[in-house]
Each structure stands twice: as structure tokens, then as C-alpha cells.
Structure 1
Amino acid sequence: MLPARKPSTSKLQALILLCLDETALLVKTHQKCLSQAEADVADLLKTGQTQRALLWVERAIKEQNLLDVLFTCPNELREAVASLIYAAPRCGECPMLLRISKLLRAKFMKHSYTISPEANQEMMQLLSTKQPSLESRLAKMETIARLQGIMLNMNKISFSEF
């Protein structure tokens, strides 16, 4: 059996530079999506559709979480590498990230099962596919309403549907 090839530093560096460019584009894209999502929620609130706004605010929360992940930099290199390896398959918008993840796994991680416990827990929570809690959706909706100058009457919202 042939020994495994070690990834070259120049390949890794080139991929990281490409990833940085893609990340900058992703930040701009998600910032636009966040602005649009908040505007949509504000429009729904202006027309008195608080039930629909509560559903739509989830999109704004997810976009904000993705932006938070893009701006989060863990303190320890090991945690950062583990976090990158954990996040790569969950960020399908950035295929270069997956390639970097494979190179880093080959270079730094001996076993794939060691990745998740070392990954940044906050980042793992932000990338979670679970629906945001009712409290976080209400808080985001209230923030959007306040920023848009919309009076929000929480008594009109029927929480039994959520």
C-alpha cells in the first residue's frame, strides 16, 4: 500500500485565498439577504400580519446566524481547524471550504470522530438546523419593529400555533 500524499502548503494557501474571496462574497450576499428578510418582516408588521411576520423572522435569524459564523474566529488553532472541518459539509455554498477541510483533516486530524467535540460549540449551535425558539423569533421581530418605527401589539399574536 502506498503512503498517503501530504497536502502541499502552496495548494493549501491558494485554497485559503480562494476561500477568503468566497467568504467575502458570502458575507455580502448574506448581508443583503438579512436586510431583505428584515424589510419583509417590517412590511408584514406594517400591514398587521404579525402571525406571518413571526414565521418570516426565522429567515432573518438564520441569515444573522450565518453572518455570525462567518465573523467568528475561535481562539485556539485546534478549535479553529476542528470547527472548519465540522462546518465545511454544512456550508454547501462554499465548495472551496470543503476542499480546505479535507486538506486540514489530512494534515492535522488523525480520526474524524475527534472533530465534533473540539469544534466551537457556539458555531455548532449557530449552524444547527433546529428551528429558532419562539422567544428568539419574538425578540428579533420586536427589534425589527422598533428599528422600523412600527408599534407591535404582542397581545394580538396567537402563540398556540407556534
Structure 2
Amino acid sequence: MSLLNQLFNRGVLGTRCKTCLNLAISRIKLLQNKRDVQLKQMCKEISQFLQAGQEAIARIRVEHIIREQNIWAAYEILELFCEFVLARVPIIENQRECPSELREAIASIIFAAPRCSDVPDLLHIKNLFTTKYGKEFVSAASELRPDSGVNRTIIEKLSVTAPSGEVKLKVLREIAEEYNIAWDSSKTEAEFRKNHEDLLGGAKQVSAGVTLSHTPSRNGSNNPPSRTKEPSNKSVHDKQEYKQLEAPSLSNNNSALNINEIEQSHKNNDVPAGDAQSETRFQSSDVLEKARAAIASADRASAAARAAAALVQSSFASLKLEGK
């Protein structure tokens, strides 16, 4: 780049930077005056809520006041930084690197530019500094990298975190004192100090507890050994009863198959798991009763079938004798 182009670009950068800085300073002053009026109106409304005993609404509205106060304080610091940089524009033009004494002011302006939408001139200043010092310098300030030089107060005032209960209580007391309201802050103080339960976390904890209480342990460490042995002994006893109740007839084969299926389902349901043991025992006893009833009915049916077959055979034999 020729010397003429360097001089031309340097003059253009200085002129644009001065114009944007002057516009930003003027706009910040107007916004501060506007915010002063809004803050007074909001403080008056909160004092009316406190006087009427509507503390719940006041606790919510005070967060907006704190947010406006933080932005107002950040704008005040940015105005000072803009005036400081405006006075040092010739130094910025003559040096290729950012001067150490201007690093905090320039980095703070770059950091606040996208977070202060009411002052679009700061974005133009940020673009000028990007052209001057490069994207790496601007990225370091925007992302708050180590040694970026951004003012700590600017970071705190422009953060989006909710204010603490102590800060809200302090602002409410200041408003009550300013408007001469005899306000008892004990109820609000207790509300701010209360630890509100996390419903999502609580639901997860409850569901986890239910799962642990109804899920069997693989190692068997959660259940006492005496309780774990009972279902196994009961299952062996049930199997013996099943085997004793089997009938040798053909009609009982189907019932035997049903018994085997019941035994298999009984094995699957026989899980020694905490509170589920009693439920499993009740289900096993119901299954046994049904199996016994089915076997008894099958025995009666087979006996009736055998009696009918014997009657038919005797009738058939008597008919043969008569025919002869």
C-alpha cells in the first residue's frame, strides 16, 4: 500500500471514529435522561404496591428496576470511555497496535456494542476497530478471553443473571425509605431466604426412589437373606404340589401342559424384590388355586368320560349277546 493510501485511509478512519463516538455520546446522554424518568415512575409504582400490601408484585417489579439501574450505570461508564477514546483518536491513527492505556476503553466498547441495542453507533465503532486491529483482537474482547482488558463493572452490569435476594431487598428498602413508607420487610426477607424446591429435580428423585424400591438388586445386597430364601422355598413347594396333582389320563395331559405353563410364569414372576415380594406371593397363591380348580374339574371330566365309555362298552356287549 502506498504512502498516499495509508494517509488517506488513516484520515478516513479518524473522521469516522470521531463521528461515531460523538453520536454514541449524545445518544447515551439522551437514553440516560429517558431512563431517569422511567426509573422514577417505576419506583413510585412499587412504593404504591408496598403501601397497599401487594408485596408479591413488588418483588417481581423490582427486578426490572435493578436491570434498568445496571444498564444506566453501564451507559455512564461507556460514555466516559467514548470521551476518552475520542480525545485519543490521533494516537490511534498513528499506531498500528492498540495503545496499552486505551486497551480497557476500546475492549469495553467492543464487548458492550452487541449488548446495547439502544446505541447502534457502538456497533459502527466496533467495525472500525475490527478494521484497525483485526478480528482476533475483537474476538478476544467479545468472548472475554484472558487479558482481554474488558472492564469488570461493564461485565457485571450487562450480565443477564437474575439479581440475588439481598440486592432486591436492599432496593425495596431504599424505595420504602425514599417515599416514607412504614414497610415491614420481615415477610419479604423470609421469602427471599426460602429455598424453593426444584420440582423437576424432586420428580426425578421420587421416580428414582420408586425404581430402586421395586427393582430387584442383582447382587442381593439390598434384601435380607431370610426374605430372599422364602420365595425360592415356596416355589419348590409349589412345584411339588403341581407334580402331585398331575393325573395319568389322556384328558389330563392338557391340564399338565397348562400346569407347566403356569410353573413357567410362576418362575418368571417369582422375583424377591423388596416391596414386590408380597404382591408376588399373592399372585402365586391365586395361580395355585386356579390350577387346583382346573385339575379337579379335569379329573371329574375324565372320570365321567371313563364312566360313559364303560357304560357304552357294556351296552354294546349286551347287544352282541342278544343278537347271537
Matches within 5 A, 1:27-46: 27-46=32-51
Are 1:58 and 2:63 matched, yes or no? yes
Are 1:89 and 2:102 matched, yes or no? no
Question: Could you tell me whether the CA contact under 8 Å between 1:69 and 1:126 is conserved in 2?
Answer: yes
Name the residue aligned to 1:103. 128
Structure 2 counterpart of 1:148, one-letter code: Y
Flag the 1:109–1:31 CA change in 2: closer, same or farther, 3 A: farther
Q: Tell me how many residue pairs correspond in the alignment.
A: 158
| Counterpart-to-counterpart distance in 2, 1:95 and 1:29 | 17
Matches within 5 A, 1:68-79: 68-72=73-77, 73=80, 76-79=101-104
**RMSD value over aligned CA atoms?**
2.1
TM-score, length basis structure 1: 0.87
Instruction: Tell me how far 1:110 sits from its aligned partner.
Output: 5.0
Name the residue aligned to 2:173. 142
What whole-Å deviation, never above 9, does each CA across 1:59-86 have from its counterpart, x for those lacking one?
1111111111122246942111100000
TM-score, length basis structure 2: 0.46
Instruction: Tell me how far 1:41 sits from its aligned partner.
Output: 1.0
Could you tell me which of 101, 121, 137 is aligned with 2:152? Answer: 121
Q: More displaced, 79-88 or 32-41?
A: 32-41
Task: Please give the secondary structure, in 1, of the residue aligned with 2:62.
Answer: helix
Using the aligned pairs only, state the percent identity: 29
Structure 1 counterpart of 2:154, one-letter code: M
Greater C-alpha Rg? 2
Flag the 1:148–1:109 CA change in 2: closer, same or farther, 3 A: farther
Could you tell me which of 157, 161, 178 is aligned with 1:130? Answer: 161
Structure 1 counterpart of 2:139, one-letter code: Y
Instruction: Tell me how far 1:15 sits from its aligned partner.
Output: 1.1
Gapped regions of structure 2 (runs ≥ 5): 1-8, 85-100, 197-324
Gapped regions of structure 1 (runs ≥ 5): none
Asked which structure has the greater RCO (Cα within 8 Å, sep 6+), the reply is: 1
